[in-house]
Structure 1
Amino acid sequence: MNRAKQIYLAIIILCLIIIGFSTYYSLGGFDPVEVYVMEGEKERTVIGKEYIEGIRKSKLQSRVEEAKTVIDSGQLKGKLTVVYFKNDAIGADSIHYFVGASVDEIKDVLRLPAGYSYKEFTTDKVFKVFITQHWLVGPDPQEMDEIIEIKAIEEGEVLQPLSFDLYYSDGSWSTERWAR
């Protein structure tokens, strides 16, 4: 009887391991994270709202959902975008970010939604990581930032103190760092 319990326990553990690896695989956990370097004049205009506040994931998520609602309603046309600014003056327990939509041309926007403004950015070189993994198994923002910074150092570039997260309709997203 004791031997039968050991066999059943081993089978259960083996099944859990197989299920775990299968789930991790299906969520994209084994997909490599690769940095793409895109050269040439690049401009981006983002219409959104700017925030400097304490780091709280729920607050950031509600700001992103608010911007997504504005985009989905048609008041803004573009990709959902979050711009994170590296700002040492605000302290380690706060975050400075701009949430809204990337638009092709500001002149194409007839009217800004209430409380929204726009920011324009330019560069000659973009370091970009596409994230196709589910957020449960994908790399965390600090890990992606480190990967991009290593690639920029290899290319001999200095990065601007900001990053872009762009969210696509298929559920994937990308992170970009721009060279100075």
Structure 2
Amino acid sequence: MTRWLFLALLLVALSVAVWYAYLGGFRSPGVQLITTAQPVYLAGRYFEGKASSDEFGPLFRQAQQVLDNGQLSGALGNIYYSDPEASDDTVRAFVGLVVADTTSQQLPPGYRYRTFPAGQRVVQAHLNASYMVAPDKLYSGAKNFMQEQKLTSAKIYLEQFPADAPAEVMAVVK
């Protein structure tokens, strides 16, 4: 009986490892210091409050629905105006979609535009992985790079999760 239990546990562990690898969980992000050449436009909603609040989670699902329903074309994306990994603090974020411009599409009700300006020095981390595993790897990669290069974060982060390109986090540095 113990042998069958051991084999079952081994099979489950192997299945989880294969699934994690498929999602890109074992990949390392590419990280570099760049100056943004073009502005990035986002359509979405602003949120300020606790990450655990009932209003924060649905913003991500609404953005996915707007994308799935064809109301806007673009990629899932967010701007955080505070460290998203600091769970005790208040989250200040603009949650929505990265769009090509601010004129070619009509915004859904309640959505607004925000711009991540060009000409900023940022640490860019990119990874070809699912949005389920990418954020942790991207943020840790960007923060490790900043420590190694002795850079100071401005605590402004842009996340992008395009369907046809690597996931990306840009962390503005001072």
Equivalent in the alignment of 2:81: 85
Q: Partners of 1:9 and 1:72 in 2: how far apart?
A: 42
TM-superposed CA distance for 1:120, in Å, is 1.8
* TM-align CA RMSD: 3.4
Q: Which amino acid aligns with 1:128?
A: Q
The structure with the largest helix share of the pair is: 1
TM-superposed CA distance for 1:49, in Å, is 0.9
Residues 127 and 138, structure 2, Cα contact 8 Å, conserved in 1: no
Residues 127 and 168, structure 2, Cα contact 8 Å, conserved in 1: yes
Q: Partners of 2:18 and 2:73 in 1: how far apart?
A: 38
Q: Does 1:60 align with 2:26?
A: no
> What fraction of aligned residue pairs are identical, expressed as a percent?
19
Structure 2 unaligned runs (5+)? none
Q: Partners of 1:77 and 1:18 in 2: how far apart?
A: 37
Aligned length: 170
Q: Secondary structure at the match of 2:94?
A: strand
TM-superposed CA distance for 1:12, in Å, is 5.5
Q: Partners of 1:117 and 1:167 in 2: how far apart?
A: 19
Aligned pairs (5 A) from 1:97-136:
97-106=93-102, 108-109=103-104, 111-122=106-117, 123-134=119-130
Q: Does 1:173 align with 2:167?
A: yes
Q: Partners of 2:15 and 2:29 in 1: how far apart?
A: 23
TM-superposed CA distance for 1:167, in Å, is 1.8
What's the TM-score once normalised by structure 1's chain length? 0.69
Q: Provide, for residues 116-155 of structure 1, a one-character-per-residue CA deviation record: whole Å limited to 9, x for no partner.
A: 222222233332223434566x3663x6434313313444
Structure 1 or 2, whichever has the larger Rg, is 1
Residues 34/115 of structure 1: CA separation in 2 closer, same or farther (3 Å cut): same
Equivalent in the alignment of 2:157: 163
Residues 83 and 163, structure 1, Cα contact 8 Å, conserved in 2: yes
Q: Provide, for residues 64-123 of structure 1, a one-character-per-residue CA deviation record: whole Å limited to 9, x for no partner.
A: 121222233333232221111117xxx9353211112222332x2454332222222223
